[in-house]
């Protein structure tokens, strides 16, 4: 009788432990590397990109890609939605026209173009401020086709913010 009791207790303990493990596995990014993701349902991010340096952009774009593809971000219940809005001097980075670009910067510009294609392929939406394109004298025909055009980048950023996107400025 005692043996039967201990077997029942052991079985219940194994079942309870198994259920606890399953419950913990089903929790969305409860802890992991990023305590900030605890309780978060999904990340909606807009990167307000006005930086005109190709060398720095070649460092920042992989970080943006990581935000979008990070395993802990992907483990959240809602898939991430990421947008980059280019304005200011950054519009020069997304033009295929390399006139006026110093020879030593050409490689960085090519890296940026490669990252733009990679970001698009990953599902990151990109928009360019046509107001800035006009102000900086960029020929609209030279803009990379992966990037959608909007009249005013500030309106785009504010619109995404009003929709609940978090804004990360890259000045």
Query: Quick check: is 35 in a domain?
Result: no
Each residue's pLDDT tens digit in the chain (171 positions)? 555 544 554 444 434 344 343 344 444 444 588 999 999 999 999 999 999 999 999 999 999 999 999 999 999 999 999 999 999 999 999 999 988 888 889 999 999 999 999 999 999 999 999 999 999 999 999 999 999 999 999 999 999 999 999 999 998
Q: Check if the beta carbon of residue 122 is closer than 8 Å to that of residue 68.
A: yes
- This prediction has a pTM of 0.81
Q: Is 3 helix (H, G, I), strand (E, B) or coil?
A: helix
Which neighbouring-strand residues pair with 169?
48
Q: Are residues 91 and 20 in the same domain?
A: no
Q: How many domains, the chain?
A: 2
> Which CATH number do you get for residue 143?
3.40.1260.10
What DSSP character marks residue 122?
T
CA atoms of 149 and 140, how far apart (whole Å): 9
Kindly report, residue by residue over 7-25, the tens digit of the pLDDT. Answer: 554 444 434 344 343 344 4
């Amino acid at each position: 009788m005692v043996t039967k009791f201990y077997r029942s207790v052991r079985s219940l303990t194994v079942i309870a432990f198994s259920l606890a493990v399953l419950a913990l596995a089903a929790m969305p990014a409860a802890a992991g590397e990023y305590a900030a993701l605890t309780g978060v349902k999904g990340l909606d991010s807009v990167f307000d990109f006005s930086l005109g340096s190709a060398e720095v952009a070649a460092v920042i774009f992989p970080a943006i890609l990581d935000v979008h593809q990070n395993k802990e971000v992907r483990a959240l219940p809602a898939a991430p939605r990421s947008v980059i809005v280019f304005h200011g001097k950054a519009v020069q980075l997304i033009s295929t026209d390399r006139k006026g670009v110093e020879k030593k910067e050409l490689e960085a510009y090519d890296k940026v173009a490669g990252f733009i294609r990679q970001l698009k392929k990953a599902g990151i939406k990109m928009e360019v401020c046509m107001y800035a394109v006009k102000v900086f004298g960029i020929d609209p025909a030279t803009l990379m086709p992966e990037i959608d055009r909007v009249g005013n980048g500030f309106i785009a950023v504010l619109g995404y913010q009003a929709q609940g996107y978090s804004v990360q400025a890259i000045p």
